[in-house]
Amino acid sequence: MTSFKLRSVKLRPGEEYRDAKEVELEPIELGGQRYLPVPGRVEAELALTRASTGTVFELRFPGRVHGPCFRCLTDAVVDVPIAAREYQATNPGAEEELRTPYVVDDVLRLSDWARDALLLALPDKILCRPDCAGLCPVCGRDLNREPHEHEEAVGDPRWAALAELRERL
């Protein structure tokens, strides 16, 4: 887990600190599927800006995730640029929106923040390509490789009793 000690930087209001940090990214679990950030360590740009009421944190890095396609389960790759921003007030008090969950005991948890920023930047459905046809609901074959249709529609056996009642009426 990558972190940054905030006590190592002394800023006055209006000053800014910028540095390149190597951030470790952990695998992501989405919808029961595992997605791997590639590479596992990325070069990120970290910026801290001291305001009169607190500190603004910025994190930028290129995100790339490998994992199964939502529709056909083949390998999918998603590239997303990450630009995240957080704010921590000097005296947040009980106001939760004035503090960031990534700062604990003057340590900025870069890995946690990068993981969450990557998750938020990913599309709703990770696809191998935009026009992915998915898997056949009858036989399970990949419709991208073998486009086909089945001649006879197979009915759900749970509805058989209702079909018999309809025929009687």
Mean pLDDT along residues 137-161: 83
The residue segments making up the domain with residue 144 are 133-169
Q: What is the pLDDT of residues 47-77, one digit of tens each?
A: 999 998 899 999 999 999 999 999 999 999 9
**pTM of the predicted protein model:** 0.79
The three-class DSSP label of residue 27 is: coil
**Does residue 75 sit in the same domain as residue 139?**
no
Chain centre to alpha carbon of residue 65: 9
Query: What's the CA gap between 76 and 126, in Å, rounded?
Result: 7
Q: How many domains does the chain have?
A: 2
Helices (H), the chain: 110-121, 160-168
Q: What is the pLDDT of residue 153?
A: 62
**Does residue 56 sit in the same domain as residue 96?**
yes
**Does residue 106 sit in the same domain as residue 144?**
no
Mean pLDDT along residues 116-131: 93
Query: What's the CA gap between 59 and 19, in Å, rounded?
Result: 10
**Does residue 110 sit in the same domain as residue 84?**
yes
Q: Which two tokens stand for residue 24?
A: 């470790």
**Does residue 103 sit in the same domain as residue 169?**
no
Residues sharing a CB contact under 8 Å with residue 137, sequence separation 6 or more, in sequence order: none
**Does residue 51 sit in the same domain as residue 70?**
yes
